[in-house]
Amino acid sequence: MMSTVETEVLVAGAGLSGLMAANALRQHNLEVTLLDKGRSVGGRLATRRIGAGRADHGAQFFTVRSHKFQAFVNRWLAEDLVYEWSTGWNDGLNSQTFSDGHPRYAVRGGMNRLAKHLAADLDVKLKVRLIAVSPTVEGWQAEDEQGQRYQSRALLLTPPVPQSLQLLTAGQTSLTSQDETILKKIEYAPCLAGLFVVEGVNFLPEPGAVQLADASINWIANNQRKGISPEATVITVHAGPEYSRHHWETAETQVLADLEAGLRRYLSQSTKIIEAQYKRWRYALPTSLYAGPCLLAKDLPPLVFAGDAFGGPRIEGAALSGLAAAQTLVETMVETLSEE
Instruction: Render pLDDT for 109-148 as a digit per residue (tens, 0 to 9).
Output: 999 999 999 999 999 999 999 999 999 999 999 999 999 9
Q: Is omega for the bond preceding 159 within 30 degrees of 0, making it cis?
A: no
Residue 183 CA, distance from chain mean position: 19
Strand-pair partners of 189: 285
> What is the pLDDT at residue 339?
56
Question: Could you count the other beta carbons within 10 Å of the beta carbon of residue 85?
Answer: 22
> What is the pLDDT at residue 296?
99
Q: Which residue has the higher pLDDT, 215 or 275?
A: 275
94 pLDDT higher than 90: no
> What is the pLDDT at residue 87?
95
| Structural domains of the chain ordered from first start | 1-39+126-186+289-340 (3.50.50.60), 47-108+187-288 (3.90.660.10)
13 pLDDT higher than 90: yes
> What is the pLDDT at residue 323?
99
> What is the pLDDT at residue 270?
97
Strand-pair partners of 321: none
> What is the pLDDT at residue 96?
74
97 pLDDT higher than 80: no
Please give the full DSSP string across 188-220, using - where no structure is assigned. EEEEEEEEEEEES-B-PPTTTEEE-TTSSEEEE
Query: What interhelical angle do 315-339 and 67-78 show, nearest 10?
Result: 110
In this prediction, residues 190-206 reach a mean pLDDT of: 96
Can you tell me whether residue 275 is helix, strand or coil? Answer: strand
Amino acid, res. 193: A
Q: Are strands 303-305 and 149-157 parallel, antiparallel or unpaired?
A: parallel
1 pLDDT higher than 70: no
Can you tell me whether residue 244 is helix, strand or coil? Answer: helix
> What is the pLDDT at residue 257?
98
pTM value is: 0.95
> What is the pLDDT at residue 336?
66
> What is the pLDDT at residue 93?
76
Question: Could you count the other beta carbons within 10 Å of the beta carbon of residue 273?
Answer: 17
> What is the pLDDT at residue 99?
80
Q: Minimal CA–CA distance to 105: which of 256, 315, 297?
A: 315
165 pLDDT higher than 70: yes
In this prediction, residues 29-54 reach a mean pLDDT of: 97
Q: What percent of the chain has a predicted confidence (pLDDT) above 70?
A: 98
Per the prediction, the chain carries an average pLDDT of 96
Task: Judge contact between 204 and 257, C-beta under 8 A.
Answer: no
